[in-house]
C-alpha cells in the first residue's frame, strides 16, 4: 500500500483506500478519496464545508510497468456560501491531478502531448500501443491542438521565406528568429499585405532577411520601413546560375566544340558512323523545328510593333513563352532537366560495337559477351536495343564459317576508357562556373579554361566570376563597378540580372556586407516539409504550427 500510495499524482490531495489488481487483463485500479477540506468555489474562491453530495470520478493515468492504471476518485459537491456568487453548487477541483471534466490525469496528458509533438497522429498511436497507453491518432491530434502557442517576443533579426502547403496551389510564410535559431510563426499565405500586418503588429524588428521576392520586399518596406533588408547570398548565386543558363542557351555549338575537344584529349573515341534516327529523335527534331519557327515569328511580329498578348493570341501560345523567346537573342535550345541527363553504362562501348558492326560481325549475343568480359555491367537487352536500329538500317548478311565458329581471329574486345563526364549542357557549364576553385580537379580546370577561351562565352564567364568574387569575399565596394560592367555588356541576360540587382540595391549590398543569411530559414523549411509529409491529409496550418513551433 505504501508503494502504491507513492505512485499517486498528488500525495497531499489524494489518499489510497484500496486497489484491485487484474493480472489477466493487465489492469490496476486504485480507489482514492479526496483529502481537501474545505473546498474553494471556482467562481468566487470562498471556501465551503457544506457537502451537497458525493460521486465517483474515473481518470486514466500513466501505466505501471505493463499494467494500465485507472484512478477512481471519490469526490464531493459543495454548497457555495457566498450569496453574491452565481454558482450555488460546485465540485471540488484538483488542478494538480486533472483538469475539470477531464478523463485523463494531467501527467498522462503531458506525456501524450509530447508523443504527438514528436511523432504525430498515426505514428504516435502506434507508439502509444507499445507503451500500453490507450490512445488513438485523432485523440493525440486533438490534444496537440489544445496546446497554446508561446507568446511571441519580437526578434531583432527576422528571417522570412515561403513554404508550400500544397505545391503549386497554396503557399504560406515562415518566420524565424535568427538570433534564437527557432521559428516563431506561420502565416497562412505569402502576400505582402499579410507580412505587412504581422510586422506592424510586432514592431521592433531591426534586420529582415529574405530571398529575392518582390512581394516580401514590398511587405517589409510597408510593415517595417526602418528595418534593414538583407538579400540572401545563396539566392543571389542561384539567380546568377539562372542568368548563366539563359546566356548559354544560344551557344550550344561553342559548348559542343569544347566538349568534343575534351573527350578527344581524354582518349575517348567518338563514333564516326552516324546512328539511324529513332522515332523519338525524329519527333524531337520535328518539335524543335516547330519551336524554331515560332521563335522566328515572335521576333518578326515584335519588330512590326505587335503587342505581347496579340502575338500570343495569333500564334496560339502563352504570354510567358513569348516573353521567354523575346528575352533570348538567339534560339534557346531545349535543356535536359536536372538529374535527367541521358547517359548509359553502354556509352563507353558504343564505338566498339559500331566498329564491329561495320566489319560485318553482327551477332548480338557474342558482342554482349565480349564487352561484358571487359567490365560492362549492363544487361543483354540493353545491347540488343542499341543494335536494333543498326540491324534495321543494314541488310542481313549470310553467316560465314568463321562467324559460326566463335569468330576466330577477332580476339578479346579492347578495354575502353569510360566517359564519366556527363553531357556538357548550358546547365552543367553554369554549375561548373559556380564551383569554388579549390574544389575543381585538373580535368574540370582544363574544361573551364577552354570554355573561357571561347569568344562567345568569355564575357559571360568573366562577369560571373567577378560577381562570385564580390559575394564570396564580401567586397561591397566592387558592386557598383560590376553593375556598370553588366549593364554595358552585350549579353541581354546579364543586363536584366544587373537591372534587378539595381532595383534591390540596398538589400543586395547589405547581403554582401553583413553576416546575416537565410540559411537557418531554409533548414527550418526542410523540417517543416518533413512534418507536412508525416501528417499527410491532416496537415492544416494550425496543426502544422503547433508541431513546428512547439517542438
Q: Which helix (H) or strand (E) holds 400?
A: none
Residue 386 pLDDT: 84
Domain boundary among 145, 169, 200: 145
Answer yes or no: do 435 and 488 share one domain.
Answer: yes
Give the start-end residues of each E strand in 341-459.
none
For β-strands 182-187 and 170-177, DSSP reports them as antiparallel
Residue 155 pLDDT: 94
Answer yes or no: do 261 and 368 share one domain.
Answer: yes
Answer yes or no: do 367 and 450 share one domain.
Answer: no
Alpha helices in 407-454 (DSSP H): 426-434, 442-453
Answer yes or no: do 172 and 218 share one domain.
Answer: yes
**CATH number for position 202:** 3.30.420.10
Cα–Cα distance measured from residue 44 to residue 48, given in angstroms and rounded to the nearest whole number: 11
Q: What angle do CA 320, 323, 325 make, to 5 degrees?
A: 110
Please, what is the angle between helix 137-145 and helix 541-550, to 10°?
A: 80
Answer yes or no: do 289 and 369 share one domain.
Answer: yes
Answer yes or no: do 292 and 390 share one domain.
Answer: yes
Q: How far is CA 434 from CA 216, 236, 277, 444, 461, in A?
A: 27, 12, 35, 12, 10
Q: How far is CA 106 from CA 10, 110, 134, 196, 324, in A?
A: 11, 6, 15, 40, 61
**Under-50 pLDDT residues of the chain:** 271-273, 339-341, 402-420
Residue 538 pLDDT: 80
pLDDT tens string 453-479: 999 999 999 999 999 999 999 999 999
Residue 422 pLDDT: 64
Alpha-carbon torsion (218, 223, 225, 228), positive or negative: negative
User: Residue 536: inside a domain, yes or no?
Assistant: yes
Residue 213 pLDDT: 92
Strand partners, 170: 166
Answer yes or no: do 264 and 376 share one domain.
Answer: yes
Which is nearest to 245 in space by CA: 368, 335, 329, 154?
Answer: 335
The residue behind cell 504527438 is 116
Q: How far is CA 482 from CA 416, 459, 462, 479, 502, in A?
A: 46, 13, 11, 5, 11
User: Residue 247: inside a domain, yes or no?
Assistant: no
Answer yes or no: do 138 and 165 share one domain.
Answer: no
Taking CB atoms within 8 Å and a gap of at least 24, the contacts of 290-295 are 291/331, 291/334, 292/331, 294/321, 294/325, 295/325, 295/328, 295/331, 295/332
Residue 396 pLDDT: 53
Cβ distance 294 to 325 under 8 Å?
yes
Residue 272 pLDDT: 47
Answer yes or no: do 506 and 523 share one domain.
Answer: no
Domain count, the chain: 5
Residue 417 pLDDT: 45
Answer yes or no: do 191 and 322 share one domain.
Answer: no
User: Residue 464: inside a domain, yes or no?
Assistant: yes
Answer yes or no: do 481 and 348 share one domain.
Answer: no
Domain that holds residue 322: 255-400
Torsion of CA 298, 302, 306, 309, to 10 degrees: 50
Amino acid at each position: 500500500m505504501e508503494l502504491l500510495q507513492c505512485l499517486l499524482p498528488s500525495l497531499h490531495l489524494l489518499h489510497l483506500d484500496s486497489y484491485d489488481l487484474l493480472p489477466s487483463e493487465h489492469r490496476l485500479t486504485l480507489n482514492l478519496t479526496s483529502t481537501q477540506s474545505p473546498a474553494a468555489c471556482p467562481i468566487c474562491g470562498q471556501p465551503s464545508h457544506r457537502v451537497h453530495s458525493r460521486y465517483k470520478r474515473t481518470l486514466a493515468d500513466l501505466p505501471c510497468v505493463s499494467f494500465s492504471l485507472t484512478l477512481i476518485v471519490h469526490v464531493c459537491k459543495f454548497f457555495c456560501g457566498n450569496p453574491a456568487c452565481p454558482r450555488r453548487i460546485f465540485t471540488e477541483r484538483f488542478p494538480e491531478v486533472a483538469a475539470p471534466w477531464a478523463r485523463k490525469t494531467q501527467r498522462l496528458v503531458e506525456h501524450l502531448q509530447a508523443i504527438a509533438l514528436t511523432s504525430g497522429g498515426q505514428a504516435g498511436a502506434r507508439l502509444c500501443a507499445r507503451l500500453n497507453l490507450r490512445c488513438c491518432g485523432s485523440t493525440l491530434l486533438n490534444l496537440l491542438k489544445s496546446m497554446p502557442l508561446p507568446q511571441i517576443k519580437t526578434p531583432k533579426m527576422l528571417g522570412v521565406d515561403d513554404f508550400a502547403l500544397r505545391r503549386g496551389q497554396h503557399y504560406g510564410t515562415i518566420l524565424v528568429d535568427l538570433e534564437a535559431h527557432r521559428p516563431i510563426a506561420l502565416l497562412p499565405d505569402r502576400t505582402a499585405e499579410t507580412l505587412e500586418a504581422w510586422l506592424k503588429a510586432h514592431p521592433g524588428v531591426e534586420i529582415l532577411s529574405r530571398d529575392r521576392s518582390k512581394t516580401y520586399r514590398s511587405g517589409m518596406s510597408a510593415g517595417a520601413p526602418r528595418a534593414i533588408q538583407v538579400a540572401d547570398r545563396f539566392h543571389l548565386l542561384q539567380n546568377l546560375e539562372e542568368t548563366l543558363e539563359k546566356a548559354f542557351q544560344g551557344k550550344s555549338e561553342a559548348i559542343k566544340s569544347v566538349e568534343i575537344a575534351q573527350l578527344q584529349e581524354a582518349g575517348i573515341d567518338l563514333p564516326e558512323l552516324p546512328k539511324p534516327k529513332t522515332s523519338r529523335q525524329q519527333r524531337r527534331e520535328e518539335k524543335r523545328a516547330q519551336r524554331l519557327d515560332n521563335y522566328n515569328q515572335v521576333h518578326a511580329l515584335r519588330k512590326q510593333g505587335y503587342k505581347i498578348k496579340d502575338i500570343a493570341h495569333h500564334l496560339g501560345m502563352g504570354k510567358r513563352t513569348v516573353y521567354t523567346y523575346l528575352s533570348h537573342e538567339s534560339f534557346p535550345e531545349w535543356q535536359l532537366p536536372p538529374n535527367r541527363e541521358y547517359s548509359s553504362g553502354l556509352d563507353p562501348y558504343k564505338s566498339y560495337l559500331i566498329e564491329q558492326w561495320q566489319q560485318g560481325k553482327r551477332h548480338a549475343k557474342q558482342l554482349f559477351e565480349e564487352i561484358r568480359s571487359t567490365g560492362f555491367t549492363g544487361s543483354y537487352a540493353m545491347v540488343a536495343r542499341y543494335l536494333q536500329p543498326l540491324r534495321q538500317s543494314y541488310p542481313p548478311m549470310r553467316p560465314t564459317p568463321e562467324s559460326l565458329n566463335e569468330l576466330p581471329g577477332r580476339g578479346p574486345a579492347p578495354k575502353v576508357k569510360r566517359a564519366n563526364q556527363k553531357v556538357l549542357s548550358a546547365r552543367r557549364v553554369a554549375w561548373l562556373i559556380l564551383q569554388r576553385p579549390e574544389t575543381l580537379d585538373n580535368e574540370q580546370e582544363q574544361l573551364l579554361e577552354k570554355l573561357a577561351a571561347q569568344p562567345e562565352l568569355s564575357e559571360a564567364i568573366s562577369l560571373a566570376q567577378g560577381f562570385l568574387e564580390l559575394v564570396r569575399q564580401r567586397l561591397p565596394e566592387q558592386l557598383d563597378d560590376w553593375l556598370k560592367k553588366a549593364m554595358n555588356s552585350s549579353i541581354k541576360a546579364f543586363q536584366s540580372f544587373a537591372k534587378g540587382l539595381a532595383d534591390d540595391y540596398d538589400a543586395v549590398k547589405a547581403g554582401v556586407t553583413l553576416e546575416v543569411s537565410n540559411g537557418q530559414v531554409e533548414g527550418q523549411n526542410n523540417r517543416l516539409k518533413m512534418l507536412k509529409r508525416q501528417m499527410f491529409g491532416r496537415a492544416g496550418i494550425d496543426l502544422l504550427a503547433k508541431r513546428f513551433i512547439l517542438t
